[in-house]
Structure 1
Amino acid sequence: MEEGEGVKSSNQPDIRLSSPFSWRGESFPPILDSESPDHLSRIRDLGIPYIFDIHTHFFPETVMKLIWRWFDNVNWAIGYRLPEKERVERLHHNGIKRFTTLNYAHKVGMASSLNDWTYANYKNWEGAIPFGTFYPEEGVLSYVKQAVDEYKFQGFKLHCEVSKLNLNHPELAETFLYLLEKQIPILIHTGTAPLPGEFTGIQFFKPFLETYPTLKIIVAHMGAHEISAYASLLSAYPNLALDTTMVFVDFLATGKIEEVDAAVSYLETYQDQIYFGSDFPNIPYNLNHPITKILDLPISDLAKQKILYKNAENLFFK
């Protein structure tokens, strides 16, 4: 399939049927064929001017295609396999006017070049909030300082599973202390879903959090498959937060039904520490699906306002 083609057409089988990851219900939400952002009127009724997506990915084209190839191998349909410009248009089309530029490194020497690429391109993506990344290697503090001081990046992304990254690695200590001093947030994929890694899970995350208790941290996917364990830390650590990426959706790669259902109450209880995330463009359904699922949850309008918009606004612009 070439870049720019849709994932599914009327005469094309749905590869999601043979995915190793399970789904809730008997039918799958659509992919692009019938994209209709009917949630826009609903968010306007809630007084939400636009949606702030804390978890969207931007990689150089060659890297992005390699990532999509991995997803293809497990029949994880990429809903937005589109050229970069069209992907940004899809975000805007769905009312997502601000979004992050998440990427991550999986080997030495990669992180700095990703930061350079993001800096060179993010101004072409209207509404983008530039995020960098880093890796345990020589010179890591130097290029992180460059990303903050020169590039004016507003956050960083780490992926403990893909990067085989131990958050407690001593080579990263100075970098974490620097980001703590600057109060720069870090969005971390530390949970064991959809697949566990050598250094994923609460047993690695908790000692890291105890070492840097006031560091601004956003845990991707609410820490799935250990949502309750991560949520239990929120009261004691006010600078800790979770994002909803691929949690309250019909695709259960990042949560079991009972785990996801039990997590709904956390959105109300910890409404100031929850951010909406989509994982765009690597999602096997339309963007309106995760948004609508949040809107349909039995939580207060105020909680929905904070999760979909206000919390991220306060994090970056307060």
Structure 2
Amino acid sequence: MIDLHVHFLPERMERRVWHHFNHGGPLMGNGWKIEYEWPVEQRVARLREMGLRAFPALSYAHKPGMAEDLNAWAADFASRTPECLRSGTFYPETGVEAYVRRAIEDGTRIFKIHLQVGGFDPRLPELDPVWGMLADAGLPVVVHASSVPVPGGCVGPEPIGEVLRRHPALRLVIAHLGMPEYDPFFDLALAYERVALDTTMTFTDFSELGMPFPARLKPALHDLGLAGKVVLGSDFPTIPHPYAHQLHALDRLELGDAWLRAVCWDNGAAMV
């Protein structure tokens, strides 16, 4: 399998993120108990045991001066972890165009931004050349653009939709299938050739309780998956259930073996 929504962070930052999830807060709602609050070596071993052959170490910046250091850390982690795809992030700040260009030239294969945590508008003029570079490079950018776990900031389909109107060749991967704004994010995936959706936490018992996937979109989910536009995501390790439950949640959709193979391997392999 290839999972395109996995997180590994510098240890101090990881502990702070876990604290927020365990205790809740303005950007977390009530939070949840993390299933894999384990040492990094044990977490990597679990992914290998689950059959993952490739995954990123997605990080994201929430203030200026963070992104370039996170990119350096991620590059080092990938160099020490054979299955890890080199990942990067960015933030609207002085020098962003230069360090994203360096990251691309140095072999970064996937980027991540989180519009809710970052608290910035993806339409800011200083990001326009960055989006253009990423579109030209054809690299996937995993974007948390929806209002889960809580609304706030420049989330929802309109801000990132306007970015796509400016840069229609962007290879965006919309996290969580756009949960809970499923319909408009599915529309973006249907409208733009390179826009895909990841399955992170969708269809799980946890998500179905509060933000159930609408049955009316199941045919579109099937067709998009077979068209290369749905990829496996999990949010490991910061999840409230065993990793295998995400896979079971996909299997019980009964969309067929070809769909599962496409989502869990083929579509991710074609992107990275």
TM-score (norm 2): 0.93
Name the aligned partner's letter for residue 77 of structure 1: K
Partner of residue 250, structure 1: 205
| Mapping for residues 15-164 of structure 1, pairs under 5 Å | 51-74=1-24, 75-150=31-106, 152-164=107-119
Name the aligned partner's letter for residue 112 of structure 1: E
Give deviations 1:1-46, integer Å, cap 9, x for gaps: xxxxxxxxxxxxxxxxxxxxxxxxxxxxxxxxxxxxxxxxxxxxxx
Q: Is the 8 A contact 1:160 1:197 kept in 2?
A: no
Give deviations 1:69-102, integer Å, cap 9, x for gaps: 0011135111110111110001011112211110
| Mapping for residues 241-280 of structure 1, pairs under 5 Å | 241-252=196-207, 256-257=211-212, 259-271=213-225, 272-280=228-236
Name the aligned partner's letter for residue 267 of structure 1: L
For the aligned residue pairs, the C-alpha RMSD in angstroms reads 1.5
Highest CA radius of gyration, 1 or 2? 1
Distance 1:266-1:167 versus aligned 2 partners, 3 A rule = same
Please, which moves more after superposition, 136-145 or 198-207?
Answer: 198-207
Give deviations 1:96-115, integer Å, cap 9, x for gaps: 22111100000000000000
* 2:249 pairs with 1:293: yes
Number of matched pairs: 264
Q: Is the 8 A contact 2:177 2:197 kept in 1?
A: yes
Distance 1:204-1:254 versus aligned 2 partners, 3 A rule = farther
* 2:181 pairs with 1:231: no
Deviation at residue 295 of structure 1 after TM alignment: 1.5
Q: Is the 8 A contact 1:101 1:129 kept in 2?
A: yes
SS of the counterpart of 2:218? helix
Deviation at residue 263 of structure 1 after TM alignment: 3.9
Deviation at residue 301 of structure 1 after TM alignment: 1.6
* 2:117 pairs with 1:167: no
Deviation at residue 117 of structure 1 after TM alignment: 0.8
Question: Within 1, Cα distance between the matches of 2:219 and 2:210?
Answer: 15
Question: Within 2, Cα distance between the matches of 1:92 and 1:284?
Answer: 20
Structure 2, unmatched stretches of 5+, are 25-30
Give deviations 1:194-213, integer Å, cap 9, x for gaps: 11121000121221111111
Q: Is the 8 A contact 1:194 1:254 kept in 2?
A: no
TM-score (norm 1): 0.80
Q: Is the 8 A contact 2:175 2:198 kept in 1?
A: yes
Partner of residue 30, structure 1: none
Deviation at residue 235 of structure 1 after TM alignment: 2.5
Give deviations 1:192-240, integer Å, cap 9, x for gaps: 1111121000121221111111111100001111111111222221100
Give deviations 1:156-178, integer Å, cap 9, x for gaps: 10000000021101010111111
Q: Is the 8 A contact 1:225 1:256 kept in 2?
A: yes
Q: Is the 8 A contact 1:267 1:303 kept in 2?
A: no
Q: Is the 8 A contact 1:88 1:126 kept in 2?
A: no
Question: Within 1, Cα distance between the matches of 2:20 and 2:141?
Answer: 25
Question: Within 2, Cα distance between the matches of 1:255 and 1:184?
Answer: 33
Deviation at residue 254 of structure 1 after TM alignment: 9.3
Question: Within 2, Cα distance between the matches of 1:121 and 1:222?
Answer: 28
Give deviations 1:253-293, integer Å, cap 9, x for gaps: 89622x35444333212112000100000001110000111
Match of 2:238 among 282, 288, 294: 282
Q: Is the 8 A contact 1:162 1:197 kept in 2?
A: no
Name the aligned partner's letter for residue 114 of structure 1: L
Question: Within 2, Cα distance between the matches of 1:267 and 1:166?
Answer: 28
Q: Report % sequence identity.
A: 33
Distance 1:194-1:261 versus aligned 2 partners, 3 A rule = farther
Name the aligned partner's letter for residue 281 of structure 1: P
Structure 1, unmatched stretches of 5+, are 1-50
Name the aligned partner's letter for residue 270 of structure 1: L
Name the aligned partner's letter for residue 190 of structure 2: S
Question: Within 1, Cα distance between the matches of 2:132 and 2:160?
Answer: 16
Question: Within 1, Cα distance between the matches of 2:265 and 2:203?
Answer: 17
